[in-house]
Amino acid sequence: MRDEAGTDQLTYDSLLVAQAMKEPELTHDQALKLRRKNALVIERILQRIWSMNGITMAGEPAAKAVDDAEAGFRDGEAERE
């Protein structure tokens, strides 16, 4: 999605929403129109997507998600010893 959108954040946001939402299903064009009509709705959806997936707005892993993954890995190693 980042490659397709390039530096256009509006396009990236609408692609992400279209890919992440299953019900109701949205096309990229519908998500883009909704973003232009009411940006707050899309922002709320994006915040939820990011928090559920442990990623930042830039699409990178959030620090907490990395910390949680490392803690889980360490816990798993302790169990094997």
55-77 confidence digits (pLDDT tens): 666 656 666 666 776 677 766 65
Distance CA 71, CA 81 (A): 16
Average pLDDT of every residue of the chain = 77
Residue count of the chain: 81
pLDDT tens, 26-38? 888 998 898 888 8
Q: What's phi and psi for 61, nearest 5 deg?
A: -60, 135
Give the mean pLDDT of 21-28: 86
Distance CA 50, CA 17 (A): 11
Other beta carbons within 10 Å of 21? 14
If pLDDT is split at 50, 70 and 90, which confidence band does 78 have? very low
Other beta carbons within 10 Å of 26? 19
The span from the first CA to the last CA of the chain, in angstroms, equals 41
